[in-house]
Amino acid sequence: MADAQVETKQFQAETRKVLDIVINSLYTERDIFVRELVSNSADALEKFRHQSLVEKIEFDAHVPLEISIDCDDKNKTLTIADSGIGMTREELETNLGTIAHSGSQHFFEELAEAAQKDVSLIGQFGVGFYSVFMAAKTVKVQTRSWNGEEGWEWSSDGGGTYTISPCTGLHRGTKIIIELKEDAETYASKYTIERIIQQYSTFVPFPVKVEGKKVNTVQAIWSRSKNEITEEEYTEFYKFIATAVDEPLFRLHFSADAPLAINALVYVPKENFEVLGMGRMDPGVNLYCQKVLIDQHSENILPEWLRFLKGVVDSEDLPLNISRQSLQDNAMVHKLRKVVTKRVIKFLAEEAKRDSDKYLTFWKTFGLFIKEGVTSDFEHRNDLAKLLRFESSVSESDKMISLDEYVERMREGQDKIYYINGPNREAIENGPYIEMFKKRGVEIFYTLEPIDDFVMNHLGEYDGKKLVSADRADLDLPETGETTPESENKETGEPLDSKSIESLCTWMKETLGDRVQEVKTSTRLVDSPAMIVNVDGHMTSSMERILKASGQNEAFGMGSKKDMEINASSPLIKQLAVLKESETEFAKDVVEQLYDNAMIQAGLMVDPMVMVKRNYRILERAAGSDK
């Protein structure tokens, strides 16, 4: 009698095309079929849970809502079962025997193209179940509906037909029994299945048991309300998602409904592993859709400069199982990226105000990434500028201030933000570039990292005020009407008269030749006899130094436009004016040494062997004159 009820049917023509694409195309991500089947089971459980809220269900009411997976490596079978809503005979045939989507040629062309690129995409077409035939020789689907009707079995080898027959003794839900192909027998191993579940389905909101052991033990706490989550839960989740042993430095947990439904939980670690010599970090934030992994270590959900973050971004608005290739071009993903990035920047700005000392700890560890963002992310550059921190002539050593703090302290009449690069604070403060800043009481940023001048150059201005390097030739410091007590006590003496200084500048230019564009009297040197300044306002000495080290200075046409400024009140410059008339050759050595000293103070390279020989000549002259 039972045999008489067995029906063999032909797959719908469109379904046969789908099966042909799935079975005969070469896929690199075969594991996807397990994720698809677990996702389907989770959907069935969620539908039952919703149905049980709508009406009282007596049938199998005692059965727990869970997904069970059994591996039989002896018989090479894999069984995935759920206690979800189940299917009637009609639903079984409709869901597995036909494709509800368009049967047009365009649909199959798109599906075929997707299969060539990335098997992850098949779920987007509503054909995720058929991915089982990548690994299955035969598939049996046994199911019984929540309404208590008798159960049914659907069976197929992925060819042109399938059978439907009655199946007695079933509980509510669906069981999929997969006889594996010879080259897919690894899926009969519980270790393989556990790995796949932990990678793709860790946060499925129902227990997933492999051989009776629950493998999704970590909750998707990002989907819960913040006031329901303990600090211990937050920390444990961080340790899991970041593979960490310590606690995070910062945590951002937020939800949004517009323009997209977003649940995000991201952490800032305490350590920067890039500076520890462990190479460039992979992105640390995973993209989920309804708690199912879409893109691990996603390169699409956050800009590269935020790769130090760890955590999860989940959006139910994304198409489930969208492919990695499609992520790059998907408008929703771009919108999601923009929302999350802005929220992270806003959070860091809020933390900087709330606890400046803790933020400085973050800055010293991850400030380089923020600077990278300023130089590479035009869209968020102005917002990132608020996060920048530098030492300044007013701040204490090793303490840093923001651009906003600098602007608040600007002198009356000052309309520019000034900075100067150097290897350390001491070298800058003993150099020639900040002498007039000290004298007039004008604050100046100390940029101590090689990238800093590139950051300032890319930023250009802040709060409507230009960012200006102190080593540029056209620097015009504001007259503040104030001098520091230190500068008031300096005895500078009378400067050389205009005729003498003009003659000296002309002669020094002839001596130095093309190494400088001009030698001129300085309006900003106080103590130092000379300094090198850059004629190109967009190029600082530190930038030139980096470009030279990387061999790019010639490609950029950099490094030739410099002026030398001399201090007309300096005793050395006054003596040089005399020497050029009485001992011309020795005076030329002094000019060359002045130039080299100024280049070194600018952080630029000189020929050490030539300079050492010249130093000895000058020392011999000095020693001889003392006798």
Same domain membership, residue 227 and residue 186: no
Phi-psi group of 518: left, alpha or beta (phi > 0 → left; psi -120 to 50 → alpha; rest → beta): beta
Residue 162 lies in a domain: yes
Question: What 3-state class would DSSP assign to 417?
Answer: strand
Contact by Cβ (8 Å): 548, 559:
yes
Last residue of a domain, one of 214, 247, 267: 214
The reply to whether 321 and 462 lie within a common domain is no
Q: Is the per-residue pLDDT at 560 higher than 60? A: no
Residues 154 and 247 in one domain: no
| 34 within a domain of the structure (yes/no) | yes
**What is the pLDDT, as a whole number, of residue 114?**
55
Task: Provide the pLDDT for residue 621.
Answer: 86
Residues 279 and 164 reside in one and the same domain: no
pLDDT at 627: 44
Residue percentage of the chain with pLDDT more than 70: 86
What is the bridge-based pairing of β-strands 416-421 and 292-295? unpaired
The pair of structure tokens assigned to 42 is 């989770």
Lowest mean pLDDT among 434-448, 449-463, 507-521, 531-545: 531-545
Query: Which pTM value belongs to this model?
Result: 0.76
pLDDT in the model for residue 115? 53
- Residue 290 pLDDT greater than 90, yes or no: no
Q: What is the pLDDT of residues 259-272, one digit of tens each?
A: 889 999 999 999 99
- Judge whether 381 lies within some domain: no
Q: Summarize the confidence of residues 551-572 as an average pLDDT.
A: 74
- The angle subtended at Cα 223 by Cα 217 and Cα 226, nearest 5°, is 105
Question: Within this chain, do residues 517 and 479 fall inside the same structural domain, yes or no?
Answer: no
Strand 67-72 and strand 208-210: pairing?
parallel
Instruction: Tell me what pLDDT residue 103 has.
Output: 45
Residue 77: the pLDDT is 96
Encode pLDDT of 33-78 as tens digits.
Answer: 898 899 889 989 999 988 888 888 888 888 999 999 999 999 999 9
Cα(602)–Cα(581) distance, integer angstroms:
29
Residue-range definition of the domain harbouring residue 444: 388-488
Residue 112's CATH number: 3.30.565.10
Most distant CA pair in the chain: distance in Å?
Answer: 129
At 218, is the pLDDT very low, low, confident or very high (cuts 50, 70, 90)? confident
Q: What pLDDT does 189 receive? A: 95
Supply the mean pLDDT for the chain. 86
Encode pLDDT of 108-152 as tens digits: 455 556 555 554 444 443 457 888 888 999 999 999 999 989 999
| Overall number of domains in the chain | 4
pLDDT band at 516 (very low <50, low <70, confident <90, very high): very high
Look at residue 484 and tell me if it is in a domain.
yes
State residue 389's pLDDT score: 97
Tokens of 136: 């299955």
pLDDT given for residue 474 in this prediction: 84
Cα–Cα distance measured from residue 47 to residue 99, given in angstroms and rounded to the nearest whole number = 21
Based on the fold, state whether residues 483 and 509 are members of the same structural domain.
no
Residue 398 burial by Cβ neighbours in a 10 Å radius (0-12, 13-18, 19+): exposed
Q: How far is CA 214 from the centre of its chain?
A: 34
Pick from 443, 462, 488: which residue ends a domain?
488
pLDDT of 532: 92
Residue of 482, 479, 529 lying closest to 504 (CA atoms): 529
415-428 confidence digits (pLDDT tens): 999 999 988 999 99
Distance (Å, whole) CA 166 – CA 154: 9
**What are the distances in angstroms from CA 103 to CA 99, 100, 504, 626?**
8, 8, 89, 102
Query: Do 244 and 198 sit in the same domain of this protein?
Result: no
